[in-house]
Amino acid sequence: MTATASGMFNASTTPNLEEEDLIYFCKVIEDRAGISLKSTKRDLVRTRLRSRVTDTGFNSYGDYRNYLMTLPKDHAEWENFTNLLTTNKTDFFREPKHFEYLVQKILPEWLKNKERTFKVWSAASSTGEEAFTLAMVLARYLPKDRDFKILATDIDTDVLSTAQNSVYPISKKPEIPSEYYTPCIDLGKGDARGWFRMKPHLREKIIFKQHNLIDRTSPGNGVFDLVVCRNVLIYFSPDTIDFVQKKIFTTVKPNGYLFIGHSESFQGIPHQWSSAGPSVFRKGS
């Protein structure tokens, strides 16, 4: 979710979000993105859509709803609507145990095989911190004769632009362990003071691309050594989690791994993964 300053209105002039508008917005975001907001998220929906209602020239959520109802499925306004209702919080080295697991367990085992390129999918990558964390770790721990590639996807086109640009505010630098500063980041100078950019040798390893996890399309069959799909399943219903975990299963190589967020689980969902550690799953050979 990215807010635009223009069109923000004073709290006293905020139009009322009627129950029928809320129900419609919740239904549509679930149909389009799988995000299950439930009507308890009234304040979230009201705040996130507020500036969009005025930016599009409407006086009420109801008028904006009526407008959306007239639009074809591929109209550009749906992208704005979806981008506003996603939650994009992320950090570099978030849930660091996963990166320790990658270095201590997955890579030593993978290095025993003859493959040259370790392939990762960061599914729901937000602004790119997760993909760059993977890139920093892989660049540091893989030997020179091995390579890696990362596919980083998200439904939200605004966060993908930020990720593609790979420029972050200096306030995020402490999220990165200091041993990675020199090899991985360039500090901004002049007008770019207060920002840093990920180095080109990391940027060139990542492809950022739009992908909706609830689409039937898939980025490949049996191609990834590791899929990282963290902190997005919490927004999905059990049926959607089931659909997504099955889809990811087909994209992973035999013996490949899946990381999910520490607050997520497949509890109550029959699946084919073997549990390999906290929030770590493995596909059998």
Ligand X SMILES: C[S@@+](CC[C@H](N)C(=O)[O-])C[C@H]1O[C@@H](n2cnc3c(N)ncnc32)[C@H](O)[C@@H]1O
- Can residue 126 be called a binding residue for ligand X (CB under 6 A)? yes
Instruction: Copy the structure tokens of residue 136.
Output: 């920093």
- CA pseudo-torsion sign 60, 65, 71, 76: positive
Residue-level length of the chain = 285
Q: Is 48 a catalytic residue?
A: yes
CB of 94 to ligand X, least distance (A): 5
> Taking the complex as a whole, how short is the minimal distance between the CB of residue 84 and ligand X, in angstroms?
10
Of 20-28, 64-72, 73-81, 228-236, which part binds ligand X (CB under 6 A)? 228-236
Q: How far is CA 132 from the centre of its chain?
A: 12
CB of 131 to ligand X, least distance (A): 9
**Catalytic residue at 140?**
no
Choose, from 46, 50, 94, 154, the residue flagged as catalytic: 154
Cα distances from 104 to residues 99, 121, 141, in angstroms, run 9, 19, 10
The contact mask relative to ligand X for 47-66 (x = CB under 6 A, - = no) is --------------------
| Strands laid side by side in the 274-277 sheet | 206-210, 147-154, 117-123, 224-229, 252-260, 280-282, 274-277
Report phi then psi at 142, rounded to 5: -85, 140
Determine, following the binding rule CB under 6 A, whether residue 164 of this chain makes contact with ligand X. Answer: no
- Which range binds ligand X by CB under 6 A, 18-26, 31-39, 102-110, 181-189? 31-39
Q: Which two tokens stand for residue 95?
A: 């849930």
Q: Is 36 in the site for ligand X (CB under 6 A)?
A: no
Q: CA geometry: angle at 214 spanning 30 and 207, to 5°? A: 125
Q: Considering the rule CB under 6 A, would residue 33 count as an interface residue with ligand X?
A: yes
Residue-by-residue DSSP string for 2-70: ---STT---GGGPPP--HHHHHHHHHHHHHHH-----GGGHHHHHHHHHHHHHHTT-SSHHHHHHHHHH
- Binding to ligand X, residues 241-280 (CB under 6 A): 261
- By the rule CB under 6 A, 155 interacts with ligand X: yes
- Comparing CB distances to ligand X, the nearer of 22 and 244 is 244
# residues contacting ligand X (CB under 6 A): 25
Q: Is 90 in the site for ligand X (CB under 6 A)?
A: yes
With CA atoms as reference, report the closest residue to 228 among 205, 209, 252, 210. Answer: 252
Which of the stretches 30-38, 139-147, 185-193, 201-209 binds ligand X when contact is defined by CB under 6 A? Answer: 30-38
As measured in angstroms, the least distance from the Cβ of 130 to ligand X is 5
Instruction: Give yes or no for a contact between 263 and 234, defined as CB atoms under 8 angstroms apart.
Output: yes
DSSP 262: T
Applying CB under 6 A, the span of 19-27, 33-41, 43-51, 96-104 interacting with ligand X comes to 33-41
Please classify residue 52 by burial: count the beta carbons closer than 10 Å to its beta carbon, then call 0-12 exposed, 13-18 middle and 19+ buried: buried
From 10-18, 29-37, 42-50, 96-104, give the range in contact with ligand X by CB under 6 A.
29-37
| Of 54 and 257, CB closest to ligand X | 257
Active site residues: 48, 154
Residues engaged in binding ligand X (CB under 6 A): 33-35, 86-90, 94, 124-126, 130, 154-156, 159, 212-214, 230-232, 235, 261
